[in-house]
Amino acid sequence: MVSLLDIIGPVMVGPSSSHTAGACRLGLLARGLIGGTPQSGLLQLHGSFARTGEGHGTDKALVGGLLGFRPDDERIREALQIAEREGLDYKFEKVTIADAAHPNTVRINLELDGRKATMLGSSLGAGRILVQEIDGYPAEVTGNLHTIVLVAEDKKGSIAKITGILAEHDINIATLRVSRKERGGDAFMMIECDEEPDKKAGEELRALDWVRWTRRLPKVSGG
């Protein structure tokens, strides 16, 4: 459903809604995935991101997102210098991810305090984005809502337990999707929430002994 505020918006640093605003949003989601400003980041650019990214500030926007800047933050222009000051060691690579991949696609590989995270996402135009893969699990995250991602042992009743915890924190679930790499393998869950999940809800989910890890990804799009 198209919203008026998607058409008259977003407010953003130029020059391109797909190459700049969308790239920044992908960076913000990757930052959520690693849980803060990463110490190192390898950003693999595919297609048009690789070909015209420099002139569109795609590099600055991606790194700006990793630093926590929103698409309308003018610090994006100096994001590469700020990253150096803040100890974010970034590197860009031009790659072909797959011939059929969307032209504006990036794989982001991050490290923070020994933890690693990878995310594959595309900028679809007009600032809209789609994350297709997280740590190798098939994903579908748009950033239009607050999203909880978690990896859990494939266990009966796990979804009921998780939705119960969120209900106790008065968080309404908009969508819930589960994927896995193979049968009997760990389950990867993406839970889009109408309200921003608080830190305590995240901690309670993490405390479940069959949950391997969980992260809260910010809402980065929508009015």
If the CB atoms of residues 14 and 185 are measured against other proteins, the closer one turns out to be 14
What's the CA gap between 7 and 21, in Å, rounded?
14
| Cα–Cα–Cα angle for 97, 101, 104, rounded to 5 degrees | 90
Kindly indicate which of the ranges 27-35, 36-44, 122-130, 132-140 contains the residues binding other proteins, using the contact rule CB under 8 A: 122-130
What's the CA gap between 107 and 32, in Å, rounded?
15
Q: What mask of x and - would describe binding to other proteins in positions 124 to 163, judged by CB under 8 A?
A: -xxx------------------------------------
Of 59, 133, 186, 192, which lies in the binding site for other proteins, with binding defined by CB under 8 A?
A: 59
| Residue numbers 160-219 binding other proteins by CB under 8 A | none
80 touches other proteins by CB under 8 A: yes
What's the CA gap between 134 and 94, in Å, rounded?
20
Q: How are strands ordered across the β-sheet holding 115-125?
A: 89-94, 40-47, 104-112, 115-125, 128-134, 137-141
12 touches other proteins by CB under 8 A: yes
- Residues β-bridged to residue 93: 44
Contact positions toward other proteins, by CB under 8 A? 1-21, 48, 51-52, 54-57, 59-60, 72, 74, 76-77, 80, 103, 125-127, 223
